[in-house]
Structure 1
């Protein structure tokens, strides 16, 4: 028998003698000690559970928590209601959802110096953290509450990820609507201020020529000749408006040659010609009109920015390629420079326009700039979502 066990048996014998008044028989202390040891762990667990219930509220029920949380998520409840359900189940002072260190939603009161944190992952992406404020004087949650947090972490992560995607979609749609309204405003201004007066002048000149035919034929002829020039100006204005909607070169030359024609005159900041190499398939498949325009605008806009920030030694590389065989319905446009920039790119109308063009057809645009150069990548779907 080990020294510790012998001490325990002797202690039991001493307690027996104090209570009964006589020394217990041989083997009785050892039997009593074994019985007490066997019952200690269940009793300890019951005491801990009772203490947790006294301090944290009723014991957290994983099934009930998942049922209530599932009801909230199915009903499309906002994040604060998710947290209210968890807080009432766990019985904690406060609970919060955080993304990138910023609170998305909070229920109850939070003490950042006394919290426990559960990371939320949607696949491999870290989408946020579930932060639980502990009751005063406690260093951790009871096991039942920890088990509940482990169970709800996955559905909460998916719901938070979906909510963030929905917000990004809302913002993207807002940008598209804004871009469309700006385009309509531009067309209205061009038609009202340019083409409208030109056509009105043509109408008045025509009336004047009709009135002069009988009384002054020579002047009528001069008026008609002037009218011919006015009509030519109106045609030019119509073409300008139409080409603003879709570059003429796309229809006449195709995407690759249209881009080549447009960027050929570009020069670096010091006036030297900008060297641009273009790598593209010999024959691209038929592209949706919106995809073709987006690819053209991104390519031209990115090369223009490279030229603006180039120090004169930069060479730009433009690549047009279809995606890997696993995803053939994708056109990737990549523009990269090989020299240092004279200044960093700053978001402006041009860059914002590129983002809007890509987002409105369901594509993605990434711009990566460093002092050593910049890379612009646009992934454009060949099948535009409805």
Structure 2
């Protein structure tokens, strides 16, 4: 008998019929003797609907009251699932984040979990009950309802699995696993049987939308085996786990991630003096704009061109800030491009194989795709290219690294 924490996303519980299907799936685990804790999101679209109601009243709603409002979405689904389980003869009990005592800090709308009380859940499990917990929410030390930010139900699921020392945390969603890249871009994209926490974290941070980044960080920190499965199609899914001794003999590249939401800014002709990077990026940081890739080139006239990327939504805001910076530094001008994209190859096998970056660059050169920026880490290589070449680049790299084949070790 195993203990599973199962998280079902908004599409998985998007209607009464789908909630009934989740109940059937949970009953199947109970029938074979497994203990189950279920974490649910709100019905798909419900959180957005509630936020819309709030903004109809107040353009910038009070964060505490907004948390009180949006947390009701999960209360609906946990109660309905318990009713569906009761109808099937399965004993079940629902809990809000506050009732099960998921204690967080007091940062409303993006709280972080600090502690979880497990006694009540363990008592229910010992009594043969299915425990159904509202995802995405908790309470602070003063009893105020808090929420964990968008995608926070994934984090709830992983945190409960860690606290309960579950055998596995299963994330049920509308895809049947983690793929080598987006199947909508590459028809031959292949579902991975296994991927490491490091690789999944890179994939999530680089644009893969399968899992929320914080949930992967949490799973890696507490070594919680994490499996991504489909709510609608039976299958083994993808296991996300620690790197084992045999990983280096497996694919050099596990996947290709990409992000269309990038923009590039360059301050041209900056005096090459100490502290110039701080004087450029300091105002950007104080405006709460996140910077991704950075490149600095020193010219023969002892000036430098300083280039960095930001989220496309922050492009115009960052441009206005840099106009002032250019004047203060005596730089020549600020140039920008919001029609770029970032493409990344990810794989722990890079640690033990040379020439991976060169192979990537060759594949792009063969398609006449110009690389504008390059960033590397131990297990990834990212490049910035013109957005119009994005899908061509992904397909070329997928083919070059033989990711459509299960035998993908490349020298």
Shorter-chain TM-score: which interval? under 0.3
Structure whose residues are more often strand by fraction: 2
Q: Taking CA–CA contacts closer than 8 Å with sequence separation of 6 or more, which of the two structures ends up with the larger relative contact order?
A: 2
> Looking at CA atoms only, which structure, 1 or 2, has the larger radius of gyration?
1
Q: Give the TM-score, by structure 1 length.
A: 0.22
Q: Give the TM-score, by structure 2 length.
A: 0.21
